[in-house]
Structure 1
């Protein structure tokens, strides 16, 4: 059954933008066409994946820097989260002399999606990631203070 047969509209780049605008969120589109924004200082992107762009993935990145020596402790926190929570999936990735901590919430819309479902899943991807990022912030207050100091130095205003 395709999206039109189900009475639901197919997922699209424009529909993601429309939902962000309907909620009054600030966002941008990069040179690759990726849609992204910042929530509580953390970067989030909305990707269309799959052969027919039928999957929505909301991916977030924790906006803190911690020493590479923390990778085992962070991995333990990520594994504990993934054992206890349905979403988002979270993971740690070594990035040279930095550690990236990411969240992902992926939903299959092969048969289409309503606007309210799309908003719900986008909000879920962001809000559950922010819960995990807040947990990490409580464990690494020095990293939070450093990140906020750097943001203040850039003159950046908090985002949506």
Structure 2
């Protein structure tokens, strides 16, 4: 007869610092915004790594398409987002108008109230970034002439393996 342990093993808690450590481990280029959230660019698209919730137990990887199209394309892009969401598990995609232009966002959020391993964080970061980049690539193909949302200063390429699906770019 076996007995259950008195206390279940606990995982390390989610923190912004742990997310930063995982980004550092993959050679990512990122900074912090005014709210203290981590932010970087992958294939020119900005991504935020946000901890939220009452005890900061949720991690959200939020991406924004780095192109602009006129507000008149809102319906077409919304239909594309809905089609994606009907067939894909993540990321969540939403579309809104900002300054008369269509803005497209992706989000991949997970609750880590019971803690999280480094491997789970790596999987979350890779999945959140890579799935968003797949959606953004689809938009780039549909709108090849769309203007970038803002110019980005050229920096040296970070030392990251090319096969990493979440490899950062700084152009």
Residue 6 of structure 1, CA deviation: 3.6
SS of the residue 1:126 aligns to: helix
Aligned to 2:92: 89
Alignment match of 1:115 (pick from 115, 118, 122): 118
- 1: CA distance between counterparts of 2:56 and 2:9? 17
Matches within 5 A, 1:116-135: 116-135=119-138
Q: Does 1:139 align with 2:142?
A: yes
- 1: CA distance between counterparts of 2:86 and 2:98? 24
SS of the residue 1:32 aligns to: coil
- 2: CA distance between counterparts of 1:126 and 1:140? 20
Residue 147 of structure 1, CA deviation: 2.5
- 1: CA distance between counterparts of 2:54 and 2:153? 41
Aligned to 2:4: none
Residue by residue, what CA displacement relative to the aligned partner does 1:37-78 show, whole Å, maximum 9, x if unpaired?
Answer: 000000000011111110000000000000110000000000
Equivalent residues of 1:105, 1:125 under 8 A apart = yes
SS of the residue 1:132 aligns to: helix
Aligned to 2:73: 70
Q: Does 1:52 align with 2:38?
A: no
- Larger gyration radius, structure 1 or structure 2: 2
- 2: CA distance between counterparts of 1:59 and 1:105? 7
C-alpha RMSD over aligned residues: 1.8
Aligned to 1:159: 170
- 2: CA distance between counterparts of 1:80 and 1:70? 16
